Each structure stands twice: as structure tokens, then as C-alpha cells.
Chain A
Amino acid sequence: NAGVTQTPKFRILKIGQSMTLQCTQDMNHNYMYWYRQDPGMGLKLIYYSVGAGITDKGEVPNGYNVSRSTTEDFPLRLELAAPSQTSVYFCASSRGTPIRQPQHFGDGTRLSIL
């Protein structure tokens, strides 16, 4: 089982460039999430989705956009990259609400904005 797959694993962007971080899961989970993890910090929620066609903002959504056209895929779009967006980005999925269901994480995308 692949679980949650994130691509690319590493990327360097110049200020002002844009890119899409890809996330796909093969567990047929309805809930999907994007987090960012800065050095020495815990994970912060960027966006989440409870099903195809439904997305909502998390704690730190500014500078990002998402879409959820299928159950499997939940891409994260960075428009006009800024140095403050240098971070490690994690995608996660869960079968249901995280009150009782575990979140399954990908291995992350390490993004540097220079």
C-alpha cells in the first residue's frame, strides 16, 4: 500500500514563482489535510477537505490555494512564492473525523524560497 504520496520531495523556488505540491492517497479516505512544519515548530493546518468538491481554510491559509476534484487527490497551490513560505509541507488523510480516526501522513515536501 502506497498510503499518502507527496511529490516533489524537494524543491527550490525563486521569490514570485508559483508551483503546485501534489498529494494523492489510495486509501479511499474522505478527509484530507495540508500542514506546514517550520523548524522547531509543530505542524500548522493550511487547508482541509472533507470530501471531493469541499475545501475549507485552516489556521494559516494566506498565500495558498487548494482544490479537491477527486477523492484521491488534494493539490496545494502556491502563488507568488515568498521566503516566509519556506517550510516542510505535509499532506495527510483520514477515514473520518480525527476525533477517533488517525491521520496518515505523507513524507513531506521540503520547499525553499530564495
Chain B
Amino acid sequence: TQLLEQSPQFLSIQEGENLTVYCNSSSVFSSLQWYRQEPGEGPVLLVTVVTGGEVKKLKRLTFQFGDARKDSSLHITAAQPGDTGLYLCAGVGGGGADGLTFGKGTHLIIQP
């Protein structure tokens, strides 16, 4: 069973601060996805990273896939209250078809 460990589990910071969320595993993944989930809703995809060392930017969010494809990070610059939510990383194994392996998530609260 492939496991994804996310840290921190909870994070509460002030508006305007920067933060980084980590997603680590001992397993290699074909790709890794980051989702954001709002209360009462399903997860919504933010980004997919496929190549080791890949960096993708989505406005103030920067996603990085580790060189060995075992870990990933999400960095948010100048966090805003609208960034509040549950951030989930999810890895795809070598087979691909059999769904995603999710981390437990990082609960992020941005205080105004």
C-alpha cells in the first residue's frame, strides 16, 4: 500500500504571510495531484505534476514535484482569506487506472 504523509496537518496564519505544505512518501508515483476541498463539497483539482523536478505556478500557488517523484510541495505566497480550505495531495501509482492515493490533508486557515 502506497502512503502519502502530509504536513502540517493544521496551519493557521495571518493574511499576507507565506506558507509551504509538504507531501511525502517512500513510494514513487507516476504523477501527483493537488486538490482543494471546501466544507460540504468534493475536492477540486488544482494541479497535476508528472515529471520529476517539475514546477508549476498557479497565480500565488507554486507546486513542485520531487526529482525522485516521491514527494511534492505547495507554496502559497501572500496568503489570502480565500485560500482557506483543506488541501489534499494525491498520488497515482504505476498502473494508473486504480484511482488515487490521498494524503490526510492540510487544514489551512488564513486569518484577515
Contact = CB atoms under 8 A, between A and B. Distances in A.
Interface string B71-112: 000000000000000001010100011111111110000000
Given A43-B43, A102-B33, A48 B104 contact: no
Contacts of A42: 4, 6, 88, 90, 102-105
A100 B4 CA distance: 19
A33 B42 CA distance: 13
Interface residues of B, number: 27
A59 B1 contact: yes
Nearest to A47: B99
B108 to A, nearest CB: 15
Contacts of B99: 33, 35, 45, 48, 58, 98
Nearest to B98: A48
Chain A interface residue bracket vs B: 20 to 34
Interface of B: 1, 4, 6, 30-31, 33, 40-45, 48, 50, 88, 90, 92, 96-105
26 contacts: A31-B97, A33-B99, A35-B99, A40-B104, A42-B4, A42-B88, A42-B102, A42-B105, A43-B43, A45-B99, A50-B97, A56-B98, A90-B43, A98-B96, A98-B97, A98-B99, A99-B30, A99-B96, A100-B31, A100-B48, A105-B42, A105-B43, A107-B42, A108-B40, A108-B41, A108-B42
